Amino acid sequence: MKQIFKLFKRIYWFTAFKIVYPLVFEHYKRKATVDEDRVLFVEYRSENLSNSFKILYEKLKNEYDFKTEVYFLYSNRLHGWSYMKRVFGLYKEVVRAKYIFLEDASNVISAVNLNPQTVVTQLWHGCGAFKKFGFSTSELLFGDSRKTKEKYPYYENLDYVTVSSPEVIWAYEEAMGLEEKPTQVIACGISRTDVFYDKDFLNNAKKRVTEAMPQCKGKKIIVYAPTFRGTVEDAKAPDQLDVTAFQEMLGDEYVLLIKHHPFVKNRPSIAKEQRSFAKDVTGELTIEDLICVADICISDYSSLIFEYSLFEKPMIFFAYDLDLYCDWRGFYYDYDELTPGPVCRTNDEMLDYIRNLSERFDKDKIIAFKNKFMSGCDGHATERIMEVVFKKDILNKHKKQHGDGGN
């Protein structure tokens, strides 16, 4: 049965990506002309505007007169013919767009021959370079073979890729197979990080967190934000954090907020007696809100550590399955050398570190990590991205005039 399913999948992929999608795209391309003012944001999985897009999208809508639109592919909930029709709808928009923004791998954009005047920018959804992805996972348990990735690419047709610092350019070139291609990987920063320099956003984040869990008032906040285990399609949440032990040891001084990866559908439950201390806020609060308020961040292999380093606060790495995860996914840097905080295999190790935080926290290590991996994230990344993609003369042409004096 598995062999039949694999055969059917291979037939579907070949038919869709090598025949149907290219033919449909060429059909629409012949009937359309590129609109020099049209900007298209392509959401691959999310059903809402993602945080990777939000700042840039709102800036374009509010301050410029481009024809700015978002197209949702709904790849998480549409399948078969329903999804193919959605892709066809995307192609109708793509053939008319001068500027296209992506925030994730896109096989449907990679499968077609775009108009030469179309500019495609990959904003990506994470900072730094932590766990491997794309071509870097070839032949690992997590990834397909390199031959498959080359046959059905995800990173074709890119003009620009924005990254958080010059240090990680090599990793994105490797992951996206861009070493011999004209795509420019530019360390102008990650747009989504600009909110961390916005005082209004910081203040509102504190309000949103307090509204979600009033017990936060007067206490310090520990955020536990692990990445998923397994594949994207079958993502599972880690379940080794001992909430009871944390509550008994730290409940008088701290509260615990848990944020699971959005791919995870079934999350570990929190017992009723623990809810005055701990809460799963995955569906209520964004990771940006939590990064702003956390006094301590516990993660494992998530790229959120790069963003959190901007606040120069303590991090703990709960890597109880490090050896297994390394074999499964792999890292761009040696894990123990990269992590700017203690790597713990047990709950007792984490609790001991927190109880002795004042003596053990090495802030200089966090700052060095931030300077190395986040040098382009200074609150002005969106401005730099716009100047790279649109060029200054185009931006000046489309700048909206406000008030009688044009100010």
392-400 long-range contacts (CB < 8 A, ≥24 apart) are 395/64, 398/37, 398/64, 398/65, 398/66, 399/63, 399/64, 399/65, 400/62, 400/63, 400/64, 400/65
User: What's the whole-model pTM score?
Assistant: 0.91
Mean pLDDT of each 10-residue bin along the chain, 407 residues long: 69 91 97 96 93 96 97 92 96 98 96 97 94 82 73 95 98 94 96 96 96 94 92 84 96 96 86 94 94 96 95 97 80 93 97 97 97 97 98 96 53
Largest CA distance in the chain: 71
Helix (H, G, I), strand (E, B) or coil at 121: strand
Residue whose structure tokens are 């449909």: 24
Q: pLDDT tens digits for 268-295? A: 889 999 999 999 999 899 999 999 999 9
